[in-house]
Amino acid sequence: MERGVAPPASTVPERPPSSFFQKAASTLGIGAWRADQQVEGYLFLLPSLLGFSVFVLVPIVISLGLSFQEWNLLTPPTYIGLNNYIELFTKDPMFGNVLRNTLWYMVLIVPVQLVIGFVLALMLNTGIRGLKLYRMLYFMPVVASAVAAAMVFRFLFNQQSGVIAAGVWEIKGFLLGQGWVQASPSLLAWANSIMPPDFLNASGSGIWPGWALVSVAVFTVWKNVGFTMVIYLAALQAVPDVLIDAAKVDGANRWQRLRNVTIPLVSPTTFFLLVIQMLGAFQIFTEPFIMNANTQRQLPVGSASIVTYIYENAFNFQRMGKAAAISWVLFVIVFTVTIMQTVLQRRWVHYETE
């Protein structure tokens, strides 16, 4: 090469990144890091950062400090150390009850919603006519007002004037009018004992969660199963046909193709739905509060959840410190469950890149 002649542009060695941000930008392939453009970038982020700080970050920090205090909204807060947490785990039987109810909500809602949503998605993925109509009908409860829908179910489950109770009374009247029932004292006594369950207030015993909790779980599944169905349907439509055809060529029947091809390929979607539905079950509030609360905004023991108990302590009993402590206990539980799900998903979730 002649002296004084610059080498071709392609042979000029690139200047190595001199800072962490330059190295990160080079690794991610997003271009060079420009120190003179950082101010503009932070100005664009400023509105979101201000909103996050004022409405999320600052209240979180305040609630942590408040959990160590006693405050009734009228007098200045008083520092009491760990007394709120000690009371929850040693002196408050209601906290153990609402924790049990919340776990029951998770057990009853999440698996049922996943299974029903997946089955509906499989049915709609067969190329039937009117797919858009069925998809709209199943998704309508999702976009309906939760409060309005809960009021409808509250009427359906009412023990005195509900539709289900009316059906039970009709069955009882029919049985009492039968001669073969009147001729048997034992059958007559059984028919006279028929009563509609108290779906809105009855607590459970033993391993039975109770009608109040089951009714809320039924409503929640009905309300949200359409969302699960739509997400699963999108995942099923993304399954490559070539894999299904290859399984057919290998002699796999419909069940084998579902178990060995379809379910593993939609496992990332299952993991996504599992996480968000478990978080929703832990934070359930609107459904039991609208369906089961009395005129004093108090819920029956059988259907109260952790979040409704937070509400009651904060606004019914004016114990903001204890409500904040319950909130942080809930955060620890949800965070632990989420971490466990993230770790365990490596054993059963299969991504296309693997």
What per-residue confidence (pLDDT) applies to 77? Answer: 92
- Host domain of residue 214: 78-159+197-348
Q: Does any domain span residue 58?
A: no
- SS3 readout for the chain: CCCCCCCCHHHCCCCCCCCHHHHHHHHHCCCCCCHHHHHHHHHHHHHHHHHHHHHHHHHHHHHHHHCCEECCCCCCCEECCCHHHHHHHHCCHHHHHHHHHHHHHHHHHHHHHHHHHHHHHHHHCCCCCCHHHHHHHHHHHHHCCHHHHHHHHHHHCCCCCCHHHHHHHHHHHHHHCCHHHHCCHHHHHHHHCCCCCCCCCCCCECCECCHHHHHHHHHHHHHHHHHHHHHHHHHHHCCCHHHHHHHHHCCCCHHHHHHHHHHHHCHHHHHHHHHHHHHHHHCCCHHHHHHHCCCCCCCCCCCCCHHHHHHHHHHHCCCHHHHHHHHHHHHHHHHHHHHHHHHHHHHHCCCCCC
Q: Does any domain span residue 240?
A: yes
Q: Single out the residue of 135, 134, 302, 107 nearest to residue 221, CA to CA.
A: 107
What per-residue confidence (pLDDT) applies to 56? Answer: 92
Number of domains in the chain: 1
What per-residue confidence (pLDDT) applies to 160? Answer: 84
What per-residue confidence (pLDDT) applies to 12? Answer: 46
Contact 123, 233 (CB under 8 A): no
pTM of the predicted protein model: 0.81
What per-residue confidence (pLDDT) applies to 204? Answer: 81
Contact 252, 260 (CB under 8 A): yes
Which domain CATH number covers 301? 1.10.3720.10
Rounded CA gap, 192 and 188, in Å?
6
Residues of the chain with confidence (pLDDT) below 70: 1-37, 295, 352-354
What per-residue confidence (pLDDT) applies to 279? Answer: 93
6-15 burial by CB neighbour count: b if 16+ within 10 A, else e? eeeeeeeeee
What per-residue confidence (pLDDT) applies to 25? Answer: 54
Q: Does any domain span residue 147?
A: yes
What per-residue confidence (pLDDT) applies to 32? Answer: 55
Residue 42 has phi, psi (to 5 degrees) of: -70, -30
Q: Does any domain span residue 48?
A: no
Q: Does any domain span residue 332?
A: yes
What per-residue confidence (pLDDT) applies to 1? Answer: 47
Q: Does any domain span residue 19?
A: no
Task: Show Cβ contacts of residue 253 under 8 Å, excluding neighbours closer than 6 positions.
Answer: none
What per-residue confidence (pLDDT) applies to 5? Answer: 53
Rounded CA gap, 55 and 65, in Å?
16
What per-residue confidence (pLDDT) applies to 299? Answer: 81
What per-residue confidence (pLDDT) applies to 292? Answer: 85
With left for phi above 0 and alpha for psi between -120 and 50, is residue 251 left, alpha or beta? Answer: left
Q: Does any domain span residue 164?
A: no
What per-residue confidence (pLDDT) applies to 34? Answer: 63
What per-residue confidence (pLDDT) applies to 283? Answer: 93
Contact 121, 262 (CB under 8 A): no
Q: Does any domain span residue 102?
A: yes
